[in-house]
Amino acid sequence: MSTYRVATFNLKNDMPLTRKFLRWNTRKNAVIKCILNIDADILGVQEYTIQMAKSLSPLKNIYTSVGAPRNKKPNEKSERTDIFYKKDKFNCLDYRTFWLSNHPNREGSRLFLSPFPRICTMAKLEDKKTKDILWVFNTHLDHLLPFNRSKETEILIETITKENDIKNIILMGDLNTNIESSAVKKLLNNPKLPLFSVYRHINTTNTMHYGNGKLNENKLPIDYIFVGKEFKIKSTEIIKDEYEGLYPSDHYPVVTEIEFK
């Protein structure tokens, strides 16, 4: 049986007014250590930028990444939802980024009420050993309005299901909402794209902690991994490790192990 270790991790974009313990230069080594310790075969990141990528060179020996910036006129700080995959384990047969707007192929497009463009990165990965094909999607939904997130989810489902011969789906990302929301329910209850949450068999906590590790235990996760019916979920964990007193981000990474049934 083929087993895959999959993770999603919001790295937190570097902002000038951010508190020092969350500035990129303060925690970049913690991010590297965290990703190496997770040791995922496939990793989806959010709020990732080219500026940050320059600090992650130790990962280049292990991973290749694919993705594109969300802005029409990008710069080094333009956010991305890249997919990292182990280059000794997978070939990337195809990849692209699409926009969660009424014009998914139009660079920089966004919903009318969304302050920023929102994107999804797709990678069609081939297991070098088994030749199995995995369709991996990584996204980051609107942070303000439930209406936007619900609409973005509809666009996500519609765009994914237009792909030919799609199966073995892994969908991950920061959805900025909990599992009781309309957006997540649309993902879990649509006939076009049957998906299952990897949280099904564990007690969950919130995954957003603002960089101080403090959680409201009554809140639910906003970072997710969903898989298609072809997979069995072996284990899932929300990683809460510190590195020399620092948290790598203001989100906890989520890690799951899945295998083909």
Per-residue pLDDT reduced to its tens digit, 73-104: 988 889 999 999 999 999 999 999 999 999 99
SS3 for the chain, per residue?
A: CCEEEEEEEECCCCCCCCCHHHCHHHHHHHHHHHHHHHCCCEEEEECECHHHHCCCHHHHHCEEEECCECCCCCCCCCCECCEEEECCCEEEEEEEEEECCCCCCCCCCCCCCCCCCCEEEEEEEEECCCCCEEEEEEEECCCCCHHHHHHHHHHHHHHHHCCCCCCCEEEEEECCCCCCCHHHHHHHCCCCCCCEECCCCCCCCCCECCCCCCCCCCCCCCEEEEECCCEEEEEEEECCCCECCECCCCECCEEEEEEEC
β-strand partners of 196: 227
Determine what percent of the chain is predicted with pLDDT higher than 70.
98
Q: Position 92: which residue type?
A: C
Task: Show me where the domains of the chain are located.
Answer: 3-260
Q: What is the pLDDT of residue 217?
A: 62
Q: What is the pLDDT of residue 7?
A: 98
Q: Compute the distance between CA of residue 166 and CA of residue 45 in angstroms, rounded to an integer.
A: 22
Q: What are the residue ranges in the chain where pLDDT is below 50?
A: none
Q: Compute the distance between CA of residue 194 and CA of residue 145 in angstroms, rounded to an integer.
A: 25
pTM of structure: 0.97
The domain at 3-260 falls in which architecture?
4-Layer Sandwich (3.60)
Q: What is the pLDDT of residue 214?
A: 73
How far is the CA of 211 from the CAs of 27, 78, 192, 222, 223, in angstroms? 10, 21, 37, 15, 15
Q: What is the pLDDT of residue 201?
A: 75
Please give the order of strands across the beta sheet that includes 196-197: 90-99, 119-127, 133-140, 169-174, 223-227, 196-197
